Structure 1
């Protein structure tokens, strides 16, 4: 694992290396932490997110599993109840479909059903998202599969630092956590301070501004940074990071200051997580709003396999900049790109 040590003492490493480093640091700190998954041991993970772990911690704590997500997720639930802290790796988020019962019906409900006598301190990690040409069956984000499940926390980091710090927080949490890793970010480099702690449920204000509040997470955070530069708008950028529970206080305080809200999602328009943000903001701050909040999303179509179409599918910095500019200019909700091009009624 190559890394660059910066003057401040932080390390410049890739997003995927931040994941592996967080896993290693937690396994060193707590002998109850173990890893289950397909190809996580000998192959060091399909995306090299468990690099070096088998060599250091051995096959009892770093376990390759059969291709049976239901079986090894269920095994993790049992191990967690018995005092271990298992981390399950789901190669692609879509593969969680065959194991949802173990996560949302068993793990997420165990504390409630046992009247607090049992807890399930487990983490389910899954790669997700578009941008690498994996096609419609391997490129969805699917936060809405798990975000409406009481008892389950849901996290999506946006850079190497949040990947490291939030994964450690997730492993230390006494209840089950769904940890969604945006696959296109695995190769991105960034500074990581291993002493920096982050709280689950606490958003990061990455840029302060007075004109408009921009809320995003995952790979869209980087795209929003570029959109702000293109537009020249003094936007406040918030990396939500935790979808459940989301940081209402930080978002509402920002919108109360700017009077405007835009949520940018790498998810289809229907059923996106941003709808909850808009609903709560409109309900709480209706009289303070200068314009109607709106969302910038992907269209309600499968993720295309073609590289050209896939790049068109997700929100681009140029289109986000267009919509921000139009909103500030006339106070109206801009049309999505597919509406402008006549691809949707």
Structure 2
């Protein structure tokens, strides 16, 4: 089982999708020539070309809307936002359009689109780049939201998200991009909507997601030293 960086696990999932499905393309701010704000898409422009790796202007509502149109037309866009904070600029497109179209069409039209964005503080950016709006987004009917805490889950969830026939928002904790973890050599997917019980316990349950898993793991270790057996649950989605 090789060790891999969190960011590289996501990149691997994107590369697999680009290799295996010609309807997949990636679009977002600085994802091409620059390689992405957190280097997730570094090198993909050279590998796949500008038809499938598309740099966009700084206009989230515009390129999210373009992604919705592409998805309706039969493509599978993966849209990268530079920060989850900027999802607010495209909220109308995400909430009123992408998440609603299947309902408004009576199930006749799907929107197989993935939205990706770094989330959370702790990486020395301003408050305008450090929000955690995934808790808002997961309340939107018609929109699935996932937030991995390990490279294993990052790869497994991005695989599932890209294959989903309706919109999925992948919130990627910015503090985890440089963290390493093991992934198996064999192919796998992490199902959307299923939590992960990291550790069984009989006294108390500690529940979190994303970077919060590190915090509750440390808390569980402290409790164990004091005779308290804690269950650890990673929501994931």
- Which secondary structure does the structure 1 equivalent of 2:109 belong to? coil
Aligned length: 233
Which segments of structure 1 move beyond 3 Å, counting only runs of 4 or more? none
1:182 is the counterpart of 2:173: yes
Q: Which moved more, 1:158-167 or 1:185-194?
A: 185-194
- Which secondary structure does the structure 1 equivalent of 2:142 belong to? coil
Of 69, 86, 93, the residue aligned with 2:60 is: 69
- Which secondary structure does the structure 2 equivalent of 1:170 belong to? helix
Give TM-score scaled by structure 2 length: 0.95
Could you say which residue in structure 1 is the equivalent of 2:217?
A: 225
Report matched runs for 1:189-228 at 5 Å: 189-193=180-184, 195-228=187-220
Deviations 1:105-151 (A, max 9, x none): 11111111111111000011111101112132111111233122110
Could you say which residue in structure 1 is the equivalent of 2:93?
A: 102
Between the aligned partners of 1:150 and 1:87, the Cα distance in structure 2 is 20
1:87 is the counterpart of 2:82: no
Could you say which residue in structure 2 is the equivalent of 1:282?
A: none
Confirm or deny: 8 A CA contact 2:223 2:230 kept in the other structure: no
Confirm or deny: 8 A CA contact 2:10 2:158 kept in the other structure: yes
Report matched runs for 1:215-294 at 5 Å: 215-232=207-224, 233-242=228-237
- Which secondary structure does the structure 1 equivalent of 2:70 belong to? helix
Between the aligned partners of 1:227 and 1:21, the Cα distance in structure 2 is 32
- Which secondary structure does the structure 2 equivalent of 1:190 belong to? strand
Residue 11 of structure 1 and its aligned partner are, at CA, apart by 2.1
Of 164, 176, 180, the residue aligned with 1:173 is: 164
Could you say which residue in structure 2 is the equivalent of 1:52?
A: 43
Residue 196 of structure 1 and its aligned partner are, at CA, apart by 2.2
Could you say which residue in structure 2 is the equivalent of 1:34?
A: 25
Deviations 1:2-54 (A, max 9, x none): xxxxxxxx221111111111100111111111000011111111100112211
Residue 208 of structure 1 and its aligned partner are, at CA, apart by 1.1
- Which secondary structure does the structure 1 equivalent of 2:128 belong to? coil
Between the aligned partners of 2:43 and 2:2, the Cα distance in structure 1 is 17
Give TM-score scaled by structure 1 length: 0.66
Could you say which residue in structure 2 is the equivalent of 1:290?
A: none
Residue 97 of structure 1 and its aligned partner are, at CA, apart by 1.0
Residue 101 of structure 1 and its aligned partner are, at CA, apart by 0.8
Residue 210 of structure 1 and its aligned partner are, at CA, apart by 1.0
Q: What runs of 5+ residues in structure 2 fail to find an aligned partner?
A: none
Could you say which residue in structure 1 is the equivalent of 2:125?
A: 134
Q: What runs of 5+ residues in structure 1 fail to find an aligned partner?
A: 1-9, 243-345
Between the aligned partners of 1:193 and 1:62, the Cα distance in structure 2 is 28
Residue 181 of structure 1 and its aligned partner are, at CA, apart by 0.5
